[in-house]
Amino acid sequence: MCEESAPDGAVGRRVAVQRKLAGLTQQQLANRAHVSKSLVSQVERGEVPASAAFTAAVARALGVDVETLTGQPYGPPITDPKAEHAGIPALRMALDNDEDPNFEGFPMSAAELRTRLDECEVHRENSRYSRVVAALPELLNHAFAVVNNAGPGHDAETTWALLDDCYELAHRVSHQFGYFDLAALAARCGRDAADRAGDPLRAAAAAFRSNCVRRHHWDYAGALRVIDRGLALIESERSPAADAVRANAHSWLLCTAVEMVEVDTYGCAVALGCA
């Protein structure tokens, strides 16, 4: 993994400020970010530089954007073209090209686009996020063109499904790197594409993706509501695929409930003077 560090402990100071604003101890932040308490402590004191991976993980845990911790637009400064998140600016631009796709040559066929997206999904499953980020701008532009050129009926629904898959990948990798505004944009666009794909399971899964966006803003009631809406979309569906989507929804419900308990417990402890 290629990681970049912020100089002079600036990120560490901002982490400490945001942690205290969130009402978290160093141990609670470490638990949420899946790092050690000693690493949090060392970064906050400026003894260890904050890597890009650490910054993204802590930003997710604190519910803030990466730039809040780095003081830089688009997250940690991108000085190395081989950095994992180096493709994020291009991805951000590509998400705005839905009405005017930008690519060289002819649009990909739906079959070719499907193959490329499947390859990206394999990369994502194996945590090769930089490859997904590098590929997505091109795939999004071609998906926009395929959707715009599709006729009515089943072909149109198939192309919208391809675009939904692009948005899902964009949401996942943006969230992974801590670009929550980009993840939220991809989630919103994905809901529209999934609705047009004519598949209730897709529409439900797209709704569930909004759960992490709501949790990022500490809106746990809203996070629960989007899951309820997604489950309502597939209430009458009876298939192994529908059962898998429901299982995913229940895992989101559990994560949301656990975070709600953590926040409420800390709030009570503060009120009682025990924290």
How far apart CA 55 and CA 43 sit, in angstroms, is 10
* 58 in any annotated domain: yes
* 81 in any annotated domain: no
Which one of 196, 212, 247 terminates a domain?
Answer: 196
How far apart CA 194 and CA 107 sit, in angstroms, is 21
Rounded to an integer, the average pLDDT of 36-51 is 90
Both 113 and 168 in one domain: the answer is yes
pLDDT(200) > 80:
yes
The pTM for the full model equals 0.71
- Band (pLDDT 50/70/90 cuts) for residue 82 is low
Which one of 129, 164, 196 terminates a domain?
Answer: 196
Q: What is the pLDDT of residue 74?
A: 44
Both 228 and 275 in one domain: the answer is yes
Token pair in block for residue 202 = 């897709």
Residue with tokens 């439900």: 204
Q: Which of 42-56, 63-77, 204-218, 242-256 has the lowest mean pLDDT?
A: 63-77
* 78 in any annotated domain: no
Both 192 and 209 in one domain: the answer is no
Rounded to an integer, the average pLDDT of 112-129 is 94
Chain centroid to CA 259? 17
CATH number of domain containing 65: 1.10.260.40
Both 167 and 241 in one domain: the answer is no
Residue 16 belongs to domain spanning = 7-70
Both 103 and 173 in one domain: the answer is yes
Q: What is the pLDDT of residue 81?
A: 52
Rounded to an integer, the average pLDDT of 83-100 is 84
* 254 in any annotated domain: yes
Which one of 170, 196, 222 terminates a domain?
Answer: 196
- Band (pLDDT 50/70/90 cuts) for residue 15 is very high
